[in-house]
Structure 1
Amino acid sequence: MIEVRDLRKEYGGFVAVEGSTFSVDEGEVFGVIGPNGAGKTTTLKTLAGLLEPTDGHAEVAGFDASDPRMRQRLGFLPEESPLYEEMTPLSYLHFFADLYDVDRAVAETRIHDTLDRLDLEYRERPLGDMSKGMKRKVAIARSLVNDPDVLVYDEPASGLDPLTTNYIIDFTRELADDGKTVVFSAHNLYHVESICDRIAIMNEGRIVARGSVAELRERYGRTAYHVYTSVPVEGSEPVEGRDRHERTVESMDAVEATREAAEAAGGRLVDIRTEDPSLERVFLDLAEGESDAERAVARRAEEGDAGAGDAARAEPPGADE
């Protein structure tokens, strides 16, 4: 449904996006994450046809992203989405349905069905009198009024309370389950991890990593082993309120060395707990500069990770999809 090849966007002398390549399949949720200024919003606006790329190609639902016909197949939700506050949700959504030439009877049914799914009860109240969460639900309903195949959402739950946020994130996943293709950005990596099929991590205008959460963890993550001993060993810290000491290491060889050190000191190994790499840790490592795939794999190899060779088979940033 979406094909992006060598996308580049330059503003004057500033390059906001450089060499982005990715594709998104029908019914897939594709997350775009990165620090502020990474190029996420520029990428999403280009997909929505709001920005013309400086170079490269973006295709959405079989149309060039700049083709006005594409917008009939697209629902776009910007991070900031001012509404016509003197209108009610129903009048506002019918207004946009008319812009898309949606049949009035079809629009009536679609609008109420969508508001039912979004649990928006107050449909005749002026938008200016509604909470931010309610307004966001109306903006999401607006993105669906033309029954699009592709949805591009920029921070759909930005600034909302936790309950409304979870509702909107779950609803986004439901849209993909209905067969819609969803591309969205978010700063909350827990939400990204919970609903995305695949993720692209951007930094300084480039995609520095791409794949499923499992692939990103395997390729860039570092498993931590929390080793507990009955006596102190080098590098360990006492555990408050417990008669044990903790040392955190990153390889099974280091676990074995810790056990041997404890036994040499007259103690023993009490427990081992494994901590798998989180998406947040992977993201921070990449965003803080460890964005080169070869350096990341080389680092793991130097640490004696026997799985580094297998991890190298995960999808590299520039691979065709």
Structure 2
Amino acid sequence: MISVRGLEKRYGSVTAVDGVSFDVEAGEVFGLVGPNGAGKTSTLKMLCGLVDPSAGTIEVNGFDAGDPEMRRALGFLPEESPLYDEMSPRSYLRFFADLYDVDRAAATERIDAALDRLDLDARDRPVGDFSKGMKRKVAIARSLVNDPDVLVYDEPASGLDPITTNTVVEFTRELADDGKTVVFSAHDLHHVESVCDRVAIMREGELAATGTLADIQAEYGRVEYRVFTDVQVADADPAGDRYATVVASMDDVEGVREAAREAGGSVVDIRTRESTLEDVFLDVAGA
């Protein structure tokens, strides 16, 4: 559904995206994560044909990203999405449906269905009276009026309250379950874990890691063992009435056990900690 090969974007002497390649399948949610300035938004804008690449190729739903026909198969939600404040959600969305030449009856059905799923009941009030979360829902509905196969969302839940955020995240997963391809960026890694099938971590314009969350954690994650003893051993720190030593393998655990035995004590507890996605992200992205 999406094929990106050797994608580059240069702004003068600055390289924002450097040799990025990935594929996204139909019905998949693909997350693009990384620190600010990593090249995420530039990549998304090139996917949508809004910015021309300096090098490389992008194919979206069988079309080159620069082909105007591609945009009929795509819905885009930018991080900042101003609306026409004097219009109601219904009139605003009908306006965009007309731009896509959507039949009026089909447009009405799609608009109502999208707003129903997003729990937005105020459909005839001016958008300017809405909260940020309500406006975001209208913008998401706008991305669906042409019934696109591919959706590109840049920080869809940015700055929203927890309830609205949960609605947007769940809705993103529902879109993929309906067979749509979704590519989105997010700073909140909980959202990424909740909804993504695969993730690409960007760092300084390059892809530092790509794969399922399980694959990335298996490759880049770590396991730590915190071993508690009732006597002081080398490299142990006081922990209440005990001593704690952090080691990286079961062989090291046995080493601590032997050291405690030689000091006249024993191991009284062992606790295991695996890297979270945030730990992996910080290590891989260098954030």
Is this a same-fold pair by TM over 0.5? yes
Amino acid across the alignment from 1:145: V
Q: Within 5 A, what are the aligned runs for 1:1-321?
A: 1-240=1-240, 243-288=241-286
In the alignment, the residues of structure 1 paired with residue 235 and residue 168 of structure 2 have an alpha-carbon distance, to the nearest angstrom, of 45
Q: Deviations over 1:220-278 (max 9, x none)?
A: 111111222222322223334xx433222111111111111222222221222221111
In the alignment, the residues of structure 2 paired with residue 41 and residue 4 of structure 1 have an alpha-carbon distance, to the nearest angstrom, of 15
The alignment-based identity, stated in percent, is 66
Q: Deviations over 1:6-37 (max 9, x none)?
A: 00111112111010000000000100011111
In the alignment, the residues of structure 2 paired with residue 225 and residue 263 of structure 1 have an alpha-carbon distance, to the nearest angstrom, of 18
Structure 1 residue 206 displacement after superposition: 0.6
In the alignment, the residues of structure 2 paired with residue 264 and residue 145 of structure 1 have an alpha-carbon distance, to the nearest angstrom, of 72
Q: Deviations over 1:117-150 (max 9, x none)?
A: 0001111111111000000011000001111100
Amino acid across the alignment from 2:69: R
Spell out structure 1 runs of 4+ moving beyond 3 A. Answer: none
In the alignment, the residues of structure 1 paired with residue 178 and residue 75 of structure 2 have an alpha-carbon distance, to the nearest angstrom, of 15
Q: Secondary structure at the match of 1:153?
A: strand
Amino acid across the alignment from 1:245: Y
Amino acid across the alignment from 1:209: A
TM-align CA RMSD? 1.2
In the alignment, the residues of structure 1 paired with residue 109 and residue 235 of structure 2 have an alpha-carbon distance, to the nearest angstrom, of 65
Structure 1 residue 287 displacement after superposition: 2.0
Normalised TM-score (structure 1):
0.87
More strand by share: 2
In the alignment, the residues of structure 1 paired with residue 244 and residue 123 of structure 2 have an alpha-carbon distance, to the nearest angstrom, of 57
Q: Deviations over 1:281-300 (max 9, x none)?
A: 111112228xxxxxxxxxxx
Q: Secondary structure at the match of 2:143?
A: helix
Q: Which residue of 2 aligns with 1:298?
A: none
In the alignment, the residues of structure 2 paired with residue 177 and residue 249 of structure 1 have an alpha-carbon distance, to the nearest angstrom, of 42
Q: Which residue of 2 aligns with 1:305?
A: none
In the alignment, the residues of structure 2 paired with residue 191 and residue 178 of structure 1 have an alpha-carbon distance, to the nearest angstrom, of 19
Q: Secondary structure at the match of 1:270?
A: strand
Amino acid across the alignment from 1:76: F
List alignment gaps of at least 5 residues for structure 2: none
Normalised TM-score (structure 2):
0.97
Amino acid across the alignment from 2:76: F
Structure 1 residue 182 displacement after superposition: 0.5
In the alignment, the residues of structure 1 paired with residue 281 and residue 9 of structure 2 have an alpha-carbon distance, to the nearest angstrom, of 23
List alignment gaps of at least 5 residues for structure 1: 290-321
In the alignment, the residues of structure 2 paired with residue 264 and residue 165 of structure 1 have an alpha-carbon distance, to the nearest angstrom, of 55
Amino acid across the alignment from 1:254: D
Aligned residue pairs, count: 287
Amino acid across the alignment from 1:164: T
